[in-house]
Amino acid sequence: MKSDKPLNRVEQLFNVSLNDVQNIVKAFHLEMKRGLSGRKSSLKMIPTYVDRPTGNENGKFIALDFGGTNFRILELELKGGRKTNPLKIMKFVLNKRLIKGTANDFFGFIAGCLKNFLEKRKVGIGEERNLGFTFSFPVKQTGTAAGTLVCWTKGFSVKGVMGKDVVGLLSEALARKGITNVKISALVNDTVGTLAAESYEDQNCDIGIILGTGTNACYVEELPNITKWHGPETRTNRMIVNIEWGNFNKLRLTSYDKRLDKASDNPGQQILEKMVSGMYLGEVARLVLIDLISKYLLFSDSGTGIFNKTGSFKTEHMSIIEDDESGDLTSIRTLLKKLNIPKSTLDERRTIKKTCEIVSLRGARVSAACLAAIITKMDPDLFRYHMVAIDGSVYEKHPSFSRNMKSCLQEIFGARSSRIKMVLAKDGSGKGAAVIAAVAASMQY
């Protein structure tokens, strides 16, 4: 590399200092309070109509876990006493035509998959089941099992769904398929499901986070603090609130973030998500790398490979790159060859690795700052123990994301950070939907 100065400049641009973290916490608190009161806010703060499970729920429940093009249907038996029987799972895939098609085709396909699941599981027409519907898109919840789609994310643009009750649309599709023994008893966000699944087994769990293709968070709020809430009280006078934190926009944007946002399907929206989620991290890194290439600091002899193509560099690529600790960075060299860059120098591979580390470190620190804001909203002096259930490929598979989040929390809270335990809640959204279905089935609204 001719000079380290361009990369140093990138590092400065993406740096999130402790002072920056503290400013994010303050801004996040303000947006939370505004959202809870019903005022204009980048955080929707959506009441979910349900509290955490008691751990004593029992029975067989079905979950439809729909978070993207890959979705799952599963059955879970709750035994009470915070115990469950193993999940029975089937996986399905939506094609691109459906995610940009019509509501009838979209929900009809999902209903058909459920019919297939019931037949394979030999759930007879006389066996009634309550179903929790995990729908991992921004929804304005209007009841335990009712909610209208606010906007599509993750590249979806199904026609005839925006502003409609997604439970109603699915119920109509079930009826068309002749499925009469399944009642959709709860509409669940995947983050809420993650919280519910973990809190069924550990009552200290009060925050759920998704850090995967998309990102979101939820937490347990005191009902009197949800001043826009005009419904009935819950068992504990608390309620899970779906923050929809991916839309948080009080963040400092680099020129690369602005370019990504402008070229996206939803300019000006989901700003936090575009900094921390698996759908966008790779693209942010690609924009930095293509800038370095344009300055003749990378690949002068090999061309640009696929880096000139939007979306070609994935977050999974970043994980492979950052995980390479070999002296010659051989895994990075092998990956670059697959990306149509046959030749690379060690300095170039080091530059690529450093670039990825810079981008992912910012994502982890911003995520940790927003988590710190949620915790201090609930517990300003961090007196209590908090378990944070986190699901998603970025948190699970990226080699340093979780470690960098933990390090940032230690910077913020010092020794008190030991009262925060982040746990990987793998497959939490599906299991949690079944748990929430059980909670909802026992409630009367």
Distance of CA 441 to the CA centre of its chain: 26
What is the residue type of 424? L
Residue 282 reports pLDDT greater than 70: yes
Q: Report the catalytic residues.
A: 154, 190
pLDDT digits (tens, 9 = 90+) for 283-298: 999 999 999 988 877 8
pLDDT score at 302: 58
Residue 408 has pLDDT above 60, yes or no: yes
What does pLDDT average to over the chain? Answer: 92
Task: Tell me the mean pLDDT in the region 325-344.
Answer: 93
> Which parts of 156-306 fold into alpha helices (H)?
166-176, 190-201, 255-263, 273-276, 281-294
| pTM higher than the cut 0.85 | yes
Q: What residue ranges define each of the domains in the chain, with the CATH number in brackets?
A: 49-200+427-438 (3.30.420.40)
Q: Say which range, 12-16, 121-125, 160-164, 410-414, has the weakest mean pLDDT.
A: 121-125
Is pLDDT of 397 > 80? Answer: yes
Question: How do residues 180-206 score in pLDDT, each as one tens digit?
Answer: 999 999 998 889 999 999 999 898 999
Q: Flag whether pLDDT at 328 surpasses 60.
A: yes
Cα(374)–Cα(10) distance, rounded to whole angstroms? 29
